[in-house]
A and B are shown apart, each in its own frame.
Chain A
Amino acid sequence: MTESSDKDLVERLRAGDEAAFAELIDRYGAMMLRVAQMYVRDRATAEEVVQETWLAVLNGIDRFEGRSSLKTWLFRILTNRAKTRGEREGRMVPFSSLAGADEGDQPAVDPDRFLGPDSRAPGAWAAPPRAWPQDKLLERETLGVIRMAIEELPEAQREVIRLRDIEGWTPMEVTDALEITDGNQRVLLHRARSKVRAALEMYFDPDLAGGAP
């Protein structure tokens, strides 16, 4: 299936083309709901926010000038609305605690895997990683491990890895849509990827990953 360009979609929306609208909601609808859910209390509210967003998009479509991509514009409207709703509900914004106050300082790799400060080479690998079997990487079971690891991430990390690595968004698209800094999206992504790597290592190399006594 080929994706229509922004310009094409916008023109068709202006003309009231239902297929263009369907294409857009199929492309972004599920992700929009997930993003909205980060900010508001329940799914029903998130669905309302998504619906309001689409209406705002349609009502504003004549004014859309294409200075940002349609996707960026869409998610910016969504995030703003979801944030406002969440604040009204008194809900903590997920990205407000970014430096990780809620999660503490999380190293990418268990510190026990490295030599300590008094060793000959502080910070060098003590229990280094071993290459993974290439033929197993894309097996269904391996992908299941990854999916599970992503499910278990704190929500801000989970949504950022989804956008970056599953949906293939650029760093800039993520920072624009979620209104977070470039540094923040990278920290979240790094933690998320590091945990997925750790989960895969646990799967391929359990004695190594579980090395700490």
Chain B
Amino acid sequence: MSLFVREIPCQELVELVTAYFDGSLSRSERRRFRAHIRGCDHCTTYVEQMREVIEATGTLTEEDIDPVAREELMEAFRGWKAGR
């Protein structure tokens, strides 16, 4: 391991958050990411906010299927069933 592991600047760290959450950073990137977070309150806050964004977005619900379209699909199903 190099003695001169390059530190990730804050501006770069904010671009790695999604990859970090998805577990798709390389081992060395992940290590540097964590090391940075440990020493940087601002980035800790930033990462926490990204977690909060995901959590809050997760409480939203999608709209339901349009009832007319739904009925058409049910008709299509009955047609399929009859012809089976």
Q: Which residues of A contact B (CB under 8 A)?
A: 16, 18, 21-22, 25-26, 29-31, 33, 47, 50-51, 54-55, 58-59, 107-109, 111, 114, 121-125, 128-132, 137-138, 142-143, 146-147, 150, 161-162, 165-168, 171, 182, 186, 189-190, 193-194, 196-197, 200-201
Contacts and interface: CB of A to CB of B under 8 A. Distances in A.
Contact of B9 (A122, A131, A161, A182): A122
Q: Is the interface of A mostly helix, strand, loop or mixed?
A: helix
B5 interface: no
Contacts of A51: 72-73, 76
Contacts of A111: 11
A138 B59 CA distance: 8
Interface of B: 9-12, 14-15, 17-19, 22, 24, 41-43, 45-46, 48-50, 52-66, 69-70, 72-74, 76-78, 80-81, 84
A200 B63 CA distance: 22
B55 A137 contact: yes
Contact of B14 (A33, A59, A108): A108
A171 B76 CA distance: 32
A161 B57 contact: yes
A195 B76 CA distance: 40
